[in-house]
Amino acid sequence: MTDSLYNLVLNCQGKRAEPLQVSLSTLRSTMGAMIDLLIERQISAQLWVKLPQHAEWFSELHCYSEQVETAIVYWTGNENGIPIDPSQKWQRLAVSAESAMQREFWLAIASESLNAILVAHQPPLKVAGEDLNPPLLALLSFETATLEKAIRHLGKADVGMLKSDPERALPVLHSLIPQLIQRLQAVAQPITIAPELSSSTEAEVLLEELRSKDRFLNNVVQELRMPLTNMIAALTLLNSPKLRPDQRQRYFNLLNNECNRQRSLIDSLLDLLELERTQEQVQLRRVLLSEVIPGVVSTYQPIAREKGITLGYTISSNLPPVSCLDHWLRQITVKLLHNAIKFTPPGGQVQAIAKQHGDFVEIEFQDTGIGIPRHELPHIFDRFYRVRSSASESGEDLSPELSTGTGLGLAIVRQLLLCCGGSITVNSQVGKGSVFKVLLPIYR
């Protein structure tokens, strides 16, 4: 096998694909939460796995194999230091040395209650030794069609296991959220209060940090509950034998939108937690805007064109390099362009324009969209904050898919810029559009 499993899943998701940058520890936590759920609910499944060759990565798998006797595990890797179950439930899966899958890790689950695949890809470094712990690009899908293509690609597929029941699958997905949050909390660095503090001010700062984390977790629970409630309601209504075809299609669309919203929210939460965990360990590097932004713009050109939006950029190759990381600048650009296109009606324009501004490089992300009301501007970079009234004030009619979001995108952008020593500001007028100004320090 020479094809990349990551690319296969990416192509299956198409325009909906949102690769997530994760560390190995976050990847392990997510995989562990999925396997813990199989153990907790005693779900008999077939698993396809390729993991880093360290015993701790296999601990949950061995627990699952021991506690669910009908489970079957197809795995790939060497046996050095990995205690392999001698029973027939563990079967070797061969991957050729030339395969792109040698740079990938995955966990695929096929069962009557849960179909899922999580695959991570390690991009090749531009410069040898550039980063000892480069981030992985990960994709997560609960779509049966995607999983079927993936396991056929891997071989030894039992397609009969893929006939999941939505009514059985939804409670399982519901249970996955607490498992995931618990795992990620364990990965995140805990706040500890020293027995003796040098001042009451220091104690107050730490106490406020604890309160902030409590508020954040409370918001997480509330945000995750809403799409699940909508999905349960839609499934209940779909059971009605009196539904007209157009009503049934509307509820199916609701399910699809809420599943996408849930996935985006989880991806954004993982982004924030990963950033908070690693920001003090990051060494900023020399990054050229001309090597990053044009590529992101070209990725979004088909989406903008389909919506009737003109998308362009002005990035001079003579601009000095900025102090950042390639994947951080890419993430900032993706989120700001995504927002601009999302809230710009057909016939509008979106531009990214960069110029030097003293010791900084300024990037303006301009759009002719619906705009943001003045009273909303001070809050738009807060976590979980969504602009609620601009569409109605401007008279625009946005579809549910475009008008909903996680409320975390701009918070992540601001956090990334703070880590780089940069900043972001916004000017906006309802009905005319918005301009987000990003400042990044010049690399010295």
Sole residue written with tokens 């409370």: 218
What integer pLDDT is reported at residue 236 of this predicted model?
A: 66
d(Cα 344, Cα 400) in Å, to the nearest integer? 14
Confidence at 365, pLDDT banded by 50, 70, 90: very high
Cβ neighbourhood burial of 1 (10 Å; 0-12, 13-18, 19+): middle
Three-state secondary-structure class, residue 85 = coil
Q: Identify the residue with better confidence: 320 or 420.
A: 320
Sole residue written with tokens 């550039």: 130
d(Cα 119, Cα 7) in Å, to the nearest integer? 10
Sole residue written with tokens 């990054």: 287
- Extract the tokens encoding 193: 């209060």
Cα-based angle 156, 159, 160 (whole degrees, multiple of 5): 125
What integer pLDDT is reported at residue 66 of this predicted model?
A: 81
Task: Inform me whether the pLDDT recorded for 279 exceeds 80.
Answer: no
Classify each residue of 248-259 as buried b or exposed e, where b means 16 or more C-beta atoms within 10 Å of its C-beta.
Answer: eeebeebbebbb
The conformation of residue 138, written as its DSSP 8-state character, comes to E
Confidence at 397, pLDDT banded by 50, 70, 90: very low
Confidence at 175, pLDDT banded by 50, 70, 90: low
What integer pLDDT is reported at residue 391 of this predicted model?
A: 46
Task: Give DSSP secondary structure letters for 41-78.
Answer: TT---EEEEE--S-GGGGHHHHHHHHH-TT-EEEEES-
The number of angstroms, rounded, from the C-alpha of 203 to the middle of its chain's C-alpha atoms is 34
Asked whether 169 and 115 are in contact (CB, 8 A), the reply is: yes
Task: Inform me whether the pLDDT recorded for 444 exceeds 70.
Answer: yes
Please give the mean pLDDT across all residues of the chain: 75
What integer pLDDT is reported at residue 96 of this predicted model?
A: 80
Confidence at 332, pLDDT banded by 50, 70, 90: very high
All structural domains of the chain: 5-164 (3.30.870), 285-441 (3.30.565.10)
Q: What's the average model confidence in pLDDT over 367-393?
A: 73
- Extract the tokens encoding 205: 């700062």
List pLDDT tens digits, range 289-299: 999 999 999 98
Sole residue written with tokens 């001042």: 199
CA atoms within 13 A on the CB side of 338: 21
- Extract the tokens encoding 399: 């579809």
What integer pLDDT is reported at residue 192 of this predicted model?
A: 46
Asked whether 164 and 113 are in contact (CB, 8 A), the reply is: yes
Q: Which residues have a Cβ under 8 Å from the Cβ of 283 and sit 6 or more positions away? A: none
CA atoms within 13 A on the CB side of 121: 18
Which of 160-169, 187-196, 275-284, 345-354 shows the lowest mean pLDDT across its residues? 187-196
Task: Inform me whether the pLDDT recorded for 200 exceeds 70.
Answer: no
Asked whether 270 and 406 are in contact (CB, 8 A), the reply is: no
d(Cα 75, Cα 92) in Å, to the nearest integer? 5
Task: Inform me whether the pLDDT recorded for 131 exceeds 60.
Answer: no
Sole residue written with tokens 């779509």: 143
List pLDDT tens digits, range 299-329: 889 889 999 999 999 998 899 999 998 888 9
Cβ neighbourhood burial of 440 (10 Å; 0-12, 13-18, 19+): buried
Helix (H) or strand (E) holding 225: helix 200-238
Number of residues in the chain: 444
Q: What's the average model confidence in pLDDT over 198-212?
A: 52
Q: How far apart are the first and last CA of the chain?
A: 45
Cα-based angle 428, 431, 437 (whole degrees, multiple of 5): 20
d(Cα 284, Cα 286) in Å, to the nearest integer? 7
Cβ neighbourhood burial of 246 (10 Å; 0-12, 13-18, 19+): exposed
Helix (H) or strand (E) holding 12: helix 5-13
Task: Inform me whether the pLDDT recorded for 390 exceeds 60.
Answer: no
The conformation of residue 354, written as its DSSP 8-state character, comes to E
Task: Inform me whether the pLDDT recorded for 159 exceeds 80.
Answer: no
Sole residue written with tokens 């061969």: 94
Q: What's the average model confidence in pLDDT over 92-102?
A: 81
What integer pLDDT is reported at residue 294 of this predicted model?
A: 93
Which of 86-95, 152-161, 202-211 shows the lowest mean pLDDT across its residues? 202-211
Task: Inform me whether the pLDDT recorded for 145 exceeds 80.
Answer: yes
